Chains A and B, each alone.
Chain A
Amino acid sequence: MNAVIAYRVAVVAGAIALLEVLCLTGVIDKITMQAPHLIARDLFRLLASGQMNGAIVKTLTNTVIALVMALTIGVVAGALIHRWRGLRDTLDPLFATYYAVPVFAFYPFFIVVFGLGDLPQILIAFMLGVVAMIVNTLNGLDRVPTVLLKTARILRLSPVQTAMRLTLPAAAPYILTGVKLAVAYAFIGIIGSEFILSRGGIGYEISFAYTNFDNAVMYPLIVLILIASIAINSVLGRWERTLLTRRGMR
């Protein structure tokens, strides 16, 4: 286990070291990319100056809003769809092909309808995440053992109590898979649409820096996004591990 972690760190460190060497020796020229140690320095300066605080707050707030919407609406919709067989049969093929649709194609339309504010971005991020939540909630509910449903009836739980206390907790490991996807999708949705057209946010700042050849801003911000998504993913991964260990599923 420790050896695996050591190898993983070695791979990342090796890649960074390689970039460092390539940049310092001039194989990669300065206009293309700065050396990693300079990126780290610029990131530190950028964060210390506070000039990006507004963009960071905006992106994170919108991501969280879209995520919370996707999670709650996804789980509730999943639980409801699971109860109605006919609805399920109708929607299943749509869910299966949903991710073949490039959701970003709707972005111009949302801007036309809702204006160039936060709402179109939040909608894109929500649309990307919500179906992952629904599909994984359905998948989890499908796997709840029949005997637990019988237990709920013997204990005379109402449908809402059965969902809240029994079937959704039983489906939690699968729902968590949906959460991990929804987090990734929320980030992609928000930052991606900021990139395409917006008036602020980290995605906008990266795009702005890019058009101005401002490597001292662009690369640090890309690294910032990487760090944020890795951090969130490892927190969720830890949570998933405790959940599965407790259930003897790993």
Chain B
Amino acid sequence: MTAQVALHHVGKTFPATRSSKALHALGPLDLELVPGEFFAVVGPSGCGKSTLLEIIAGLAPATEGSVAFEGKPIAGEAPDGIGVVFQEDASLPWLNVEDNVAFGLRRSALSQSERDTRVRDVLRLVGLSDFARSYPSQLSGGMRQRVCIARTLVMQPRLILLDEPFGALDQQTRLLMGDELLRMWRETGATIFLITHALDEATMLADRIAVMSARPGRLIDVVKTHWPRERDSRIVERPEFGAITARLWKSLREESLKTIGRSLSTPAAES
């Protein structure tokens, strides 16, 4: 099967500015995503996970290597067919839920009734049918994030990038959102690329999990979970769940220590 996303020797260096030295943030890094898979990335904070996502989304160009989506190179512009859900609340406070979800459809060639049907279907999928006329300020954080997910899904993307979408939510809500995400993933058939700092979340959701090193971020391990496609959060009861999470932590522990150790030891080293 051909890769939907192909990254070859991708790297990112932020040029030096008046106040800071050049920063090698990412790579070199090779990565291929198979159509329809659920791929998660974990890594220590500041390792360039979000930079990687922005490169795939076409929001920021890579400074080395090549990035292709469905065989076409991505060059600093968001390609059609990719949807992104960010960690921050990106709901539009002046529009009600329905109009928020329909926001991206305005430019499409769909008729009004087709748009309405799509919006209604997606709202049902994320469980917000009863809140179509509510404004984001009347919703909880989890519901607002579902509005953003719905706004992404309504465009019917073939690849969905999620940047710690549940990072701001409490643990129970996150588990339930994970269940919903798995259900949406099965129903839409889209590829999912999820960035998370929660190892258990990655293990529970993904088919493959990549572990990134401390900055500059490279892929140091890719773990396959071998979960069935039909699955939900109850998968945490399985013995493999603990084993996989443990393996992720083993790879990650040293990298996380590097990040923390570096910032702790720097002042001591200088004195």
Contacts and interface: CB of A to CB of B under 8 A. Distances in A.
A151 interface: yes
Interface in A224-242: none
Contact of A145 (B77, B88, B103): B88
Interface SS of chain B: helix, strand, loop or mixed? loop
B90 A151 contact: yes
Interface string A150-169: 11011111000100011001
Interface in A103-156: 145-148, 150-151, 153-156
Interface string B171-184: 00000000000000
Nearest to B106: A165
Contact of B86 (A150, A155, A157, A246): A150
Nearest to B80: A156
Contact of B94 (A146, A150, A170): A170
Interface string A165-180: 1100110100000000
Nearest to A156: B78
Contacts of A153: 58-59, 77-78
Contact of A172 (B57, B94, B107): B94
Contacts of B92: 148, 166, 169-170
Interface string B79-119: 01011101011101110000000011011000000000000
B57 A247 contact: no
B93 A247 contact: yes
Nearest to A172: B94
Contacts of B89: 147
Between B78, B136, B138, the greatest number of chain A beta carbons within 10 A of the residue's beta carbon is seen for B78
Contacts of B90: 145, 147-148, 150-151
B135 interface: yes
Contacts of A148: 90, 92
Nearest to B148: A151
Contacts of A151: 84, 86, 90
Contacts of B13: none
A231 to B, nearest CB: 26
Between B57, B58, B94, B135, the greatest number of chain A beta carbons within 10 A of the residue's beta carbon is seen for B94
Contacts of A172: 94
Contacts of B83: 154
Given A150-B59, A150-B84, A155 B94 contact: no
A26 interface: no
Interface residues of A, number: 22
B142 to A, nearest CB: 16
Nearest to A246: B135
A247 B137 contact: yes
Interface in B48-91: 57-59, 77-78, 80, 82-84, 86, 88-90
A248 interface: yes
A154 B137 contact: no
A246 B88 contact: no
A90 to B, nearest CB: 19
B103 A155 contact: yes
B93 to A, nearest CB: 4
Contacts of A156: 77-78, 80, 107
A154 B59 CA distance: 8
A154 B94 contact: no
A151 B82 CA distance: 12
A151 B136 CA distance: 16
Contacts of B77: 153, 156
A161 B106 CA distance: 11
Nearest to B82: A154
A80 to B, nearest CB: 22
A155 B83 CA distance: 8
Interface string B150-179: 000001000000000000000000000000
Contacts of A249: 137
Interface of B: 57-59, 77-78, 80, 82-84, 86, 88-90, 92-94, 103-104, 106-107, 135-138, 155
Which 3 pairs, one residue from A and one from B, show the smallest C-beta to C-beta distance?
A: A248-B137, A247-B93, A147-B88
21 contacts: A145-B90, A147-B86, A147-B90, A148-B92, A150-B84, A150-B86, A153-B58, A153-B78, A154-B59, A154-B78, A154-B84, A155-B78, A155-B155, A156-B80, A165-B106, A243-B94, A246-B137, A247-B94, A247-B135, A248-B136, A248-B138
Given A148-B92, A248-B137, 16 more contacts: A147-B86, A147-B90, A151-B90, A153-B58, A153-B78, A154-B57, A154-B78, A155-B78, A156-B107, A169-B94, A172-B94, A247-B137, A248-B93, A248-B135, A248-B136, A248-B138
